[in-house]
A and B are shown apart, each in its own frame.
Chain A
């Protein structure tokens, strides 16, 4: 069973399972839903259920391989497995259940308890019949701040997510972190080229392992360094056609097509370009939000789904360049470095600065949330505090946060959910656990040097890419949401967000949202992205929860 290609969720139950239908596989107080992939260890003691993709063991059934390992190493197996997985291991002898998730958070795993029965699934929607409709207001606060739900919370108060690199023993809910993302800088005296050679050797290995056997492969190509590097490596190692996919929003909007075109030509790929009109962006949003486990308010969700749909026509596996920024010192870090310098003047706390750095609604929370909701959660701690105040070097601290939260809960979850929605498999080689580990061994000055970002990655890919890509001006993917809400979606957004029956109405201050929709006082030109966040939330709530309660 591949990591993402299985559209249907799997479902497990631990507790009172007598009343479950007979076609469930039952053993004592443990039950497995019919569609769930399973494997049994050779000595018959362990049942492995769930999904896994192991790049180093492509020839064998990954669940069977894990079952064999478990028989010998039991819980130490978590540390041995390299790849993407969201698994449950049932010990028939001890009648205990372990649920574990891969280190980077490529696959998702959720659990809830209902009337002394634990329900476990890789998709949040599969647990809907087994949890209350109580919304987690802390998760709502976090979503409004970050555009995703970080940490082990989900939007539902009764459902928890297994964190990356963590195994949970049920029914006691004993949490065992089998892997921690930690700074471990080595060979500091070595020059940049030594580190970049080491990184390149690993990237060569990882990308080769990530390529599908005997079939074409796709790559989402933005034209930035990361996706261009993955494209170049795929083109170098793959004997079958390489398809690349890029987007733009019409001739009146800035795009990265110039750069993606250079890379596609350089790597001789079969290049596909998708134009996403404003109408399509709006029309596809409900379906996109319905495909996500937790809501993600990033304007690239729709383009991601449309690209995946296009890729499905020619490939079954699509690679991407996600992970380059969090692992190698991408653009998120500079504002925090500036803040650290100026905090001696502004007295702005690091945590507050980090929350604002998401550039969503952190500063608006007291006005945006209704007073009763705000009073409930304003003193609740944030999941970022520990990492932000750790003893690691400042840049590595920031990168660790990006990998653990933005990586696992936003980027990888988005890739996982949206490629799964169309029935293809999305793979992120730069988020491979070995790449993540290596990135934390590289001295920070080789990631961000002066103002040069991702220095070691640029050096590692220098021979594969045109100079125009290696030294291209810094830029992000431009999504014209500001223009969209001003000129194309304003009426629909007003109907959706300002309605008395809106799902967000019990939580959010609609008069403030009205000001945003009228573009009153948009100091930072950010109302578009905030409105996209809210529209995404509204559609997610409409699609996932009827009769939600606070």
Chain B
């Protein structure tokens, strides 16, 4: 195991002899994978997760974001890839046919046919199981579903040919039934790959223990403390409060508002940021007072893909504490159920709380979703913004604001997509850069 400080590789003996320290630089190791049970973590793995999440120590992140990232890393670890499974099964079948089954059939040992049937049956079972598993990522479920479809077609074609050549009608019919069933289940798995909720492979309490241990040895500069709920209004320079802002981003959680503010999103994008829960409390009322001065304010609702999140934009439009009876434009740039399918890897959670919030949505709010989307929400499924990296969230919000601005500028009454459907997909940004000094 490598030391994160000097990169020296330390064997178990080295680590034991040095009382858990690096033999080269004496930097302590936090994790000892040999004594961690089923879920093994190394120091390098933890350090890499932090570096990835903070974009090499340039972005702040929340502990929950690190927790979700770890869960994603752990999903499917140690398993053979679906494509590998498929190839292995193919080789095994061909090998068995050539070396055992066909010579056996010539001698009249029909029972040998069970060998390829068992091999392919096991492979089908594993692929189907993976395509439905809550312990792997949606991306992995997608791969397994595709492989299941391919396997189904292969069984269908080769089974039919084999059955016809051997004049074995039961084998022919079985291949057709099993092949078609695999194709059907594969297709179904592909469609539902993101709708299946994920199980956290790591307990939150256990992760917090790890994090505490890590920080005692390797302090993390970019990790955020839980948002402070200061009730006292902070003093703001009266010179400043006379002005207003063009844009406001409202989040459905204090953690996401805190994350955006800590990463200077407000400063970089020239917009105020508040959470619907009233964060940051110290300046909340002052900021709202400033924002109400601009009748042309654009408000962007940035929320989880959950029953509660779906109601954020409506809440902002109708709540007297926000913009009831106000002419300001409110644009939904949050995560929507229809986007979930397009995102390669999401962490879907399920709870009765989410289901309750979804069922409490008004008819007007529910009207914007398809029946499938509503069913997914009503089942209590949700994808939280905190399950994405800070970089992904910043880029998605940037794209959402840019897309909706272009859309509003073109013609807000002409209908069509506002471009926000794809804001969580891809990593491209605006190809242009604006500078102000041209006379």
Contact = CB atoms under 8 A, between A and B. Distances in A.
B55 A450 contact: no
A337 B243 contact: yes
B192 interface: no
B178 interface: no
A472 to B, nearest CB: 11
Contact of A476 (B56, B59, B286, B434): B434
A450 B243 contact: yes
A230 interface: yes
Interface in A399-452: 406, 410-411, 415, 428, 430, 444-445, 448, 450-451
B429 interface: yes
A344 B236 contact: yes
A355 to B, nearest CB: 12
Contact of B435 (A335, A337, A479): A479
B353 interface: no
A321 B439 CA distance: 4
A356 B266 CA distance: 12
A41 interface: no
A475 interface: yes
Interface residues of A, number: 72
Chain B: interface size category = 35 or more
Interface in B402-432: 409, 429-432
Given A451-B246, A479-B432, A525-B430, A342 B266 contact: yes
Interface stretch (B21-29, B98-106, B390-398): B390-398
A344 B282 contact: yes
Interface string A249-263: 000011000000000
Nearest to B241: A341
Contacts of B432: 253-254, 478-480, 482-483
Interface string B38-62: 0000000000000000011011000
Contacts of A341: 236, 240-241, 272, 283, 286-287, 290
B433 A529 contact: yes
Contact of A345 (B55, B271, B282, B435): B282
Contact of A480 (B243, B266, B433): B433
Contacts of A176: none
A404 to B, nearest CB: 15
A523 B243 contact: no
A522 B394 CA distance: 11
A445 B242 CA distance: 8
Contact of A226 (B391, B434, B439): B439
Contact of A481 (B270, B272, B286, B433): B433
A58 B429 CA distance: 51
Contacts of A477: 434-438
B437 A339 contact: no
A323 B242 CA distance: 24
Contact of A523 (B58, B239, B246, B435): B58
B268 interface: yes
Given A346-B261, A394-B239, A451-B244, A325 B267 contact: no
B236 A353 contact: no
B394 A523 contact: yes
5 contacts: A300-B435, A335-B268, A339-B267, A348-B264, A451-B244
Interface of A: 220, 222, 224, 226-227, 230, 253-254, 298-300, 303, 320-325, 330-332, 334-335, 337-342, 344-346, 348, 353, 356-357, 359, 363, 393-395, 406, 410-411, 415, 428, 430, 444-445, 448, 450-451, 473-483, 486, 521-526, 528-529
Closest 7 CB pairs between A and B? A320-B439, A525-B429, A483-B431, A321-B439, A476-B434, A322-B439, A477-B438
